[in-house]
Amino acid sequence: MSILGNRVVRLEDPRFLTVGGTYVDDVPLDGALFVTYVRSTMAHAVISSIDTAEARVAPGVVAIFTAADVDLAPRPPAIPMLNMAMTRPWLSTDRVRFVGEPVAAVVSETRAAGVDAAELVFVDYEPLPAIVDPESAEQSEVLLFPDVGTNIAMDIGAMMGFSPAPDFFDGCDVVVRQRIVNNRVAPCPMEVRAAAAVWGPDGRLTQWASTQNPNALRDSLAEAYGLEPSQVRVIAPDVGGGFGAKTGLSTEEHLLPWIAKRVDRPVRFVETRTESMLTMGHGRGQTQFVELGGTRDGKVLAWRNVVLQDAGAYPGMGGFLSFMTRLMASGVYVIPKVEFGGKTVVTNTTPTTAYRGAGRPEAAAAIERAMDLFAVEIGMDPAEVRRANLIQKDQFPYATAMGATYDSGDYEQALDLLLDAAGYRALRDEQARRRAEGGTRQLGLGLAVYVEITSPVPGPEFGGVEVTADGKAVVRAGTFSHGQGHATAFAMIVADRLGIALEDIEFVQGDTDLIPTGQGTMGSRSLQTAGVAVAQASTQVADKAREVAANLLEAAPDDVVLDTASGNFHVAGSPTVTRSWSEVAAAAHADGDGLRVDIDFTPEGASFPFGAHLAVVEVDVETGRVELTRFVAVDDSGRILNPLITEGQRHGGIAQGVAQALMEEVRYDEDGNPVTANLADYAMISAAELPSFELVPMETPTPLNELGAKGIGESGTIGATPAVQNAVVDALSHLGVRHVDMPLTAERVWQAIQSAGEKA
Amino acid sequence: MKPAPFEYHRPDTVAEAVTVLAAHGDEAKPLAGGQSLVPMLALRLARFEHLVDVNFVDELVGIDRADGWLRIGAMTRQAAVERDAVVAADAPLLARATPLIGHFQIRNRGTIGGSLAHADPASEYPAVAVALGAEVEIAAAGGSRTVAAADFFLGTWTTALADGELLTAVRLPVWSGRCGFAIEEMARRLGDFALAGAAVAIRLNDADDGVAAAGIGLFGVGPTPVKARRAEAALVAGERHPAEIGRLAMADADPTDDVHATAGYRTRVGAHLVARAVERALAEARGGQR
């Protein structure tokens, strides 16, 4: 019986739960200095002077650098679709564009000395008007990049030929329209960003980093410093979460090798939580103008979404993500006409970046909200409106108007499983009862049926398997587990194919000297890329081993069988005469070149997990307070390798999705000052605000890879956010409330009730 | 490390503590549980040249009842207050307020004296103190004094404590007879500071259901905890309509806008919470003799 599909307890957890991990800040580095960045306290200002004199003579200070010292060219956006003239300096030159931007670097013997000295660097700012609201950025006379002449960083509509058709809604009985704010949120991984740089006597750079993609970081550093990739070694030790924000190539860590060279010592940088909230990057930040038209009997005919994406001060990954929103615009529905337009603008705020879901939650939130608006308008149950428009299971592979090809799915079954598990009818009856009673606690039900894209970036991924002379295995991967449980998942694949015990399988990742290539972990890609490579490498190692075993057994290789239950080789039909892995491996290493296979696996294409979520909320109409009382989720990510791990991913994703809907929002005042820069002011969700999730299993394998696996890392945030938002609006729909923007704080919900009451 | 540099003092007695405090005036700050002060130091929102750590002053710890008063030493941990049978019996409002403070890890360190001296207007203990009519005991090198809770809180994070003074204990009158107590608050998350809240104590006449005494402390709706005198008086005068009592209570409040809520919303919710707490306290009081 295969180990795959079993609830195998994570192999990495005992270490994390007992002695703890080893993070960048824990790595011993002899003689390392500490780098503290002096950060802009202004959102938008011209720098008239920087006075470092007092700080230079402060105790423990080794050096202080400003832009005048840095002889590296400003960097254009990392993504070519963005306006490449909007370059980012390493340290602020003549102006600052957001609060938190690094202006100077203090290098000190201790961290404490650096923090103290940074306070003694005096920067004179001449304030400029700040652009905080993305909707004012396009027309504003205030320009973040005066030489560029515009605040538009990308015009996705123009790039993709968007031109609103005048007859777009012809034939529609009903058209609903809504401006929807997909609120800006902070990723908040447990470990903040950290990095260290050491130059070797051979001119080789070693960089420790808290990253999701060590090999990409290696290549980026090599490019920045004019080195061959082989002259750079990136080591990612344990990494405490990333949620997409650690895929970026941060200025603070990229400058470390330059600083290390100038001071001729190793240097280390670890940000504080407040710094992290200001500069790690934020997710979402998209304003959507949606229009959906259809017939009174529930058929959707036309769907248009025009988005305004906030890139923050320097366009990067976040500015580009509306491409993902566009690709997934029509969700799980057959819609005859789809249009998508929009722009990306720069504002005097923290740059936006990838955050769990990265463009797809925005797509799902827009259409799932619009489906509910449509359902209310035509007086149909939201579940039935969705059912009437779902892509049917015999339509896969399904090509969408926006150019995606969904690999496999059965959306109606997901919806049915959900409604059954939730007891949807009974909940609707309870809702009706409470409405009739007119009490203060009203019930709301929110649905989201979603599809998302995983492993969206094409190209190969590395996975390798080696059986060492003692019959144990080493598995290597070019992905990078920073909480995802790859040590367990990939070992399970090896164990399944080779019959080697889990505890005898060593997992290696995160050192570019040991892992030659790899894209890292993002976009829910690891199992369906590196996992498949590991599976294929395991199969090939088994083939090699059978040849060695054939020699030992004096048989033809084709007649030798590997019994994965016992981990022994024998001749077919003669199970009593066996050779163990250790015997075969010893022979292979003694007589040949060992047992190692490295694979670069290129998937046929991206895969499209899907599911259906239902949120049940109680809203106190006296105070606006929302309580999430139930959350039911069907998530189909193809074949499940380890339900324990996928359930963990679903739990975390749902929690973050609920958080965006109910409480989390990065906010600025009108001058661009951040007002949610710590975890007291920024309402990151905790278990106390969440019910136990009711997870319903569903498995529709993908034909795209031999594991049948799609990704699961981001499904939770994609389905949960619109489900919760829809539930809150649903609870109040009888009062005339049609839409409330996120986060659905008590005050905002209460205001919506008041406004609806005034209109009525 | 993250705080600005400071000199650390660790007295073993109140006498030693007030001597150190007196020596350094406004450059010194007592360090109690550290659950508010330390984050403020780490963010450099607060700076002191001298921190006087009173965590090793044993005489500041303990809960005693005498002469109709409950006396709780300043360094008594919130977790100890939460679990104490005497507090549960003689100051139920304090016992019920305690689980609303932060999280259990915070209550394991946080102290009742620290919470009162820190005087965050959105925190629970100051409102309970004004609702019940508590007094705080204050020591200094020149002698000690007692201040009524209603006179103790002067502004956000500002109290009647002068430089060199140390809050040593809080004294809570034991409300006996036909009493009821309730605390209601609205916070964004479990353990967050309240957007608005109300702590209510009511004593009924023995003979009828008339209100003999009412104490209402509001929190999160002004620069200090607010004693809702008009609502208290109305209750004693016979007003029973919850919405009216809530409205009267908020007439004494002075809420402001911040990142978490507007003043208008705080007023609205505050009135609602007062009404709910008063209803609950009345119901408990009517339920019988305590």
Does residue B1 sit within a domain?
no
Residue B2: its pLDDT value, please?
84
Q: What is the mean pLDDT of residues A27-46?
A: 97
- Partner A contacted by B5 (CB < 8 A): yes
Span B235-280, pLDDT tens digits: 999 999 999 999 999 999 999 999 899 999 999 999 999 999 999 9
Span A240-278, pLDDT tens digits: 999 999 997 799 999 999 999 999 999 999 999 999 999
Does residue A320 sit within a domain?
yes
Contact A723, A744 (CB under 8 A): no
User: Of B173, B198, B217, which residue constitutes the final position of a domain?
Assistant: B173
Collapse the DSSP code of A29 into the 3-class scheme (helix H, G, I; strand E, B; otherwise coil) and give the result. Answer: coil
Task: Enter the pTM of the model.
Answer: 0.96
Same domain for A295 and A346, yes or no, is yes
Q: How many domains does chain B have?
A: 3
Residue B288: its pLDDT value, please?
63
Same domain for A442 and A293, yes or no, is yes
Contact A396, A409 (CB under 8 A): yes
User: Is the bond into A743 cis (omega within 30 degrees of 0)?
Assistant: yes
Same domain for B38 and B106, yes or no, is no
Split at pLDDT 50, 70, 90, the class of A708 is: very high
Q: What is the mean pLDDT of residues A187-202?
A: 97
Q: How far is B104 from chain A (nearest CA, A)?
A: 12
Same domain for A562 and A631, yes or no, is no
Q: What is the CA radius of gyration of chain B?
A: 19
Say which CATH number the domain at A77 has: 3.90.1170.50
Residue A542 in tokens = 């088994």
Does residue A190 sit within a domain?
no
Same domain for A468 and A588, yes or no, is yes
Same domain for A644 and A579, yes or no, is no
Q: Using a CB-CB distance cutoff of 8 angstroms, which residues of chain B are in contact with residue A667?
A: 259
Q: What is the mean pLDDT of residues B164-171?
A: 98
Mutation site, B260, B262, B267, B279, interface A, largest A CB count within 10 A: B260
Contact flag B4-A116 (C-beta cutoff 8 Å): yes
Q: How far is A667 from chain B (nearest CA, A)?
A: 8
Give me the amino acid identity at A271.
E
Split at pLDDT 50, 70, 90, the class of A603 is: very high
Mutation site, B37, B120, B269, B279, interface A, largest A CB count within 10 A: B269
Does residue B262 sit within a domain?
yes
Split at pLDDT 50, 70, 90, the class of A192 is: very high
What is the share, in percent, of chain B residues with pLDDT greater than 90?
A: 94
Split at pLDDT 50, 70, 90, the class of B20 is: very high
Give me chain A's average pLDDT, please: 97
Q: How far is B146 from chain A (nearest CA, A)?
A: 34
Same domain for B135 and B185, yes or no, is no
Residue A390: its pLDDT value, please?
98
Does residue A450 sit within a domain?
yes
Same domain for B226 and B158, yes or no, is no
Contact flag B43-A274 (C-beta cutoff 8 Å): yes
Contact B227, B150 (CB under 8 A): yes
Q: Using a CB-CB distance cutoff of 8 angstroms, which residues of chain B are in contact with residue A751?
A: 265
Same domain for A472 and A448, yes or no, is no
Q: What is the mean pLDDT of residues A630-643?
A: 98
B109 lies in which domain range?
61-173
Span B194-222, pLDDT tens digits: 999 999 999 999 988 899 999 999 999 99
Q: What is the mean pLDDT of residues B153-166?
A: 97
- Partner A contacted by B259 (CB < 8 A): yes
Same domain for B148 and B95, yes or no, is yes
Residues A75 and A16: their CA atoms lie apart, in Å, by: 37
Q: What is the mean pLDDT of residues A280-308?
A: 98
- Partner A contacted by B288 (CB < 8 A): no
Split at pLDDT 50, 70, 90, the class of B1 is: low
Same domain for A440 and A479, yes or no, is no
Contact A660, A284 (CB under 8 A): yes
Same domain for B190 and B283, yes or no, is yes
Residues A484 and A461: their CA atoms lie apart, in Å, by: 17
Residue A726: its pLDDT value, please?
98
Residues A91 and A373: their CA atoms lie apart, in Å, by: 47
Pick from A358, A137, A143, A338: nearest CA to A243 = A358
Q: What is the mean pLDDT of residues B48-74?
A: 97
Residues B234 and B256: their CA atoms lie apart, in Å, by: 25
Q: What is the mean pLDDT of residues A542-567?
A: 96
Same domain for A429 and A523, yes or no, is no
Say which CATH number the domain at B21 has: 3.30.43.10
Does residue A253 sit within a domain?
no
Span A501-517, pLDDT tens digits: 999 999 999 999 999 99
Q: Using a CB-CB distance cutoff of 8 angstroms, which residues of chain A are in contact with residue B269?
A: 623, 746, 750
Does residue B146 sit within a domain?
yes
Closest partner residue to B189 among A274, A678, A683, by Cβ? A683
- Partner A contacted by B1 (CB < 8 A): yes
Same domain for B157 and B89, yes or no, is yes
Q: Using a CB-CB distance cutoff of 8 angstroms, which residues of chain A are in contact with residue B190?
A: 686, 688-689
- Partner B contacted by A517 (CB < 8 A): no
Question: Closest-CA residue in chain A for B269?
Answer: A623
Say which CATH number the domain at B93 has: 3.30.465.10
Mutation site, B1, B6, B250, interface A, largest A CB count within 10 A: B1
Same domain for A422 and A303, yes or no, is yes
- Partner B contacted by A429 (CB < 8 A): no
User: Of A128, A157, A181, which residue constitutes the final position of a domain?
Assistant: A128
A103 lies in which domain range?
31-128
Reply yes or no on whether the pLDDT at B290 is more than 60.
Answer: no
Closest partner residue to A746 among B2, B4, B186, by Cβ? B186
Same domain for B45 and B83, yes or no, is no
Write out the E strands in A115-265. 122-127, 152-154, 174-182, 194-199, 205-209, 232-235
Reply yes or no on whether the pLDDT at A287 is more than 70.
Answer: yes
Say which CATH number the domain at B267 has: 3.30.390.50
Reply yes or no on whether the pLDDT at A373 is more than 90.
Answer: yes
- Partner B contacted by A690 (CB < 8 A): no
| β-pairing verdict for A461-467 and A300-310 | unpaired
Residue A532: its pLDDT value, please?
98
Reply yes or no on whether the pLDDT at A715 is more than 80.
Answer: yes
- Partner A contacted by B254 (CB < 8 A): no
Q: How far is A113 from chain B (nearest CA, A)?
A: 8
Pick from A669, A683, A673: nearest CA to A743 = A683
Q: How many domains does chain A have?
A: 3
Q: What is the mean pLDDT of residues A199-207?
A: 97
- Partner A contacted by B272 (CB < 8 A): yes
Question: Closest-CA residue in chain B for A687?
Answer: B190
Write out the E strands in A243-360. 267-270, 286-294, 300-310, 337-345
Question: Closest-CA residue in chain A for B265?
Answer: A747
Residue A181: its pLDDT value, please?
98
Residue A564: its pLDDT value, please?
94
- Partner B contacted by A470 (CB < 8 A): no
User: Of B173, B188, B214, which residue constitutes the final position of a domain?
Assistant: B173
Same domain for B269 and B241, yes or no, is yes
Q: What is the mean pLDDT of residues A622-632?
A: 97
Q: What is Dmax (Cα atoms) for chain A?
A: 90
Residues A361 and A446: their CA atoms lie apart, in Å, by: 16
Does residue B120 sit within a domain?
yes
Count Cα atoms within 13 angstroms, Cβ side, for A119.
13
What is the share, in percent, of chain A residues with pLDDT greater than 90?
A: 98
Give me the helices (H) in A6-58, please: 13-17, 53-56
Reply yes or no on whether the pLDDT at B289 is more than 60.
Answer: no
Split at pLDDT 50, 70, 90, the class of A658 is: very high
The torsion angles phi and psi of A109, rounded to 5 degrees, stand at -70, -35
Same domain for B279 and B182, yes or no, is yes
Residue A1: its pLDDT value, please?
75
- Partner A contacted by B47 (CB < 8 A): no
Does residue B230 sit within a domain?
yes
Q: Using a CB-CB distance cutoff of 8 angstroms, which residues of chain A are in contact with residue B261?
A: 745, 747
Same domain for A490 and A502, yes or no, is yes
Closest partner residue to B189 among A111, A116, A663, by Cβ? A663
Contact flag B269-A746 (C-beta cutoff 8 Å): yes
- Partner B contacted by A223 (CB < 8 A): no
Contact A608, A407 (CB under 8 A): yes
Pick from B167, B134, B159: nearest CA to B32 = B167
User: Of A601, A621, A643, which residue constitutes the final position of a domain?
Assistant: A601
Contact A617, A628 (CB under 8 A): yes
Span B92-142, pLDDT tens digits: 999 999 999 999 999 999 999 999 999 999 999 999 999 999 999 999 999
Same domain for A640 and A708, yes or no, is yes
Same domain for B65 and B139, yes or no, is yes
Contact flag A686-B1 (C-beta cutoff 8 Å): no
Q: Using a CB-CB distance cutoff of 8 angstroms, which residues of chain A are in contact with residue B4?
A: 116, 119
User: Of A581, A601, A621, which residue constitutes the final position of a domain?
Assistant: A601
Residues A694 and A711: their CA atoms lie apart, in Å, by: 20
Q: Using a CB-CB distance cutoff of 8 angstroms, which residues of chain A are in contact with residue B189?
A: 663, 683, 685-686, 688-689
Give me chain B's average pLDDT, please: 96
Question: Closest-CA residue in chain A for B275?
Answer: A622
Question: Closest-CA residue in chain A for B257?
Answer: A747
Burial (CB < 10 A; 0-12, 13-18, 19+), residue B174, is middle
Does residue B2 sit within a domain?
no
The torsion angles phi and psi of A690, rounded to 5 degrees, stand at -125, 145
Residue A367: its pLDDT value, please?
98
Say which CATH number the domain at A322 has: 3.30.365.10
Split at pLDDT 50, 70, 90, the class of A732 is: very high
Same domain for A588 and A551, yes or no, is yes
- Partner B contacted by A715 (CB < 8 A): no
Does residue B182 sit within a domain?
yes
Does residue B86 sit within a domain?
yes
A–B interface: beta-carbon pairs under 8 A: 54
Pick from A185, A154, A151, A121: nearest CA to A348 = A151
